[in-house]
Amino acid sequence: MSLGPDLQQATIRLLEIHFEGYFMCRIATDPDPSNEHRGMSGYTMALPRETRLDQIIRLQVDEEFARKNARAPLHDLGKDIGVRVVDARFDGATYAPAAAALKDARVELLGKNQPFADGPVFESRNNIVGNDDAMAFVIQPFDLRIAGPGATLTARDYLDPADPAKQTWQFTDPAAYARRISTCQITGDTEVAQAVNVFDPYGYFRDRRRTLERLIERDRALLPDADPARRAALEADIQGYQSRIYQLEFWGDRIINKIQMRVDWEFEINGPQTVDGALGGRVDVAQPWRTRFWFGGWDGDLLIGFARGTLALPFLPS
């Protein structure tokens, strides 16, 4: 519902929807091409029984996808995949009606990056439309949905509002979509360290290697009594653990320094916005909503990271 100009000028303030949680992205890394599906020369790879590297940013995963792709020791670390609303604030304090309507709401990025991927991606294409070294990416498409028990919000942003279907690679000047490019790169970030509970990156990955070595020992002990099918599965798992150890050893700091890295985005959403449900007031969908968020805490072995951000809505409380 759009507010009248008098209300906009006199009383309009912001309802801030805060969200955070772990995401998964099965992404190829340099020097692999962006459309590499298994991982040949970068530090990420798809193990034999996993799905391919498809570049998609998954803020939520279903049970089947997690069963195939959640690598040990993900669950033991308590890092369940899923970005959710953690608070709704107005005038600096929790606003109870909106907080209840959006309690634990699922935050999702929808849409497809055709013909490249069946979902949203960190767009770079090996530095063609982004900058891998500076972690300067466009998230494309940006089609946001926040679905809670009492309300659902949607908001879509276009690289070019005059041509909603236009893709990054169709622009001749990247400055035209500069507002959508990540604005900074921070390593050793204390907020990220707190969010993912990793204050010693080298120790974190030394523990990972020890865990993988223990899993290899466990599975090798099971081999003598295993039937042929079980033996083949155990051998595949052992090979996967060994491959992960090799990647950690070979790539070293390139993996380690990303666990406390943070990349930020901030922009006004220029496309359609909707509110379905009650938030305890009126949301202006005629004015652009503003979003500010970061992705960080990237674990290049587990292929997961952490996201935290805010969606700010022009709002008049009841």
| Locus of tokens 């155990």 | 234
pLDDT per position as a tens digit, 46-80:
998 899 999 999 999 999 999 999 999 999 999 99
Q: Rounded distance, CA 312 to CA 291, Å?
A: 6
Q: Is 138 left (phi over 0), alpha (psi -120 to 50) or beta?
A: beta
As a whole number, the mean pLDDT across the chain is: 92
Among 259, 269, 255, smallest CA distance to 309 is for: 269
- C-alpha Rg value of the chain to the nearest Å: 21
pLDDT for 1: 46
pLDDT per position as a tens digit, 208-231:
999 999 999 999 999 999 999 999
3-state SS, residue 296:
strand
Reply yes or no on whether the pLDDT at 4 is more than 70.
no
* CB 285, CB 273: distance < 8 Å: yes
Q: What is the DSSP letter of 217?
A: H
Among 173, 182, 163, smallest CA distance to 291 is for: 182
pTM: predicted TM-score of the whole model, two decimal places: 0.93
Reply yes or no on whether the pLDDT at 133 is more than 80.
no
| Locus of tokens 């990054």 | 168
Q: Rounded distance, CA 25 to CA 231, Å?
A: 30
Q: Residue 314: pLDDT band by 50, 70, 90 thresholds?
A: very high
Average pLDDT score over residue span 3-29: 80
Reply yes or no on whether the pLDDT at 2 is more than 70.
no
Reply yes or no on whether the pLDDT at 9 is more than 60.
no
pLDDT for 114: 81
Q: Between β-strands 281-283 and 304-317, what pairing exists: parallel, antiparallel or unpaired? A: antiparallel
Q: Report which of residues 114 and 246 the model is more confident about.
A: 246
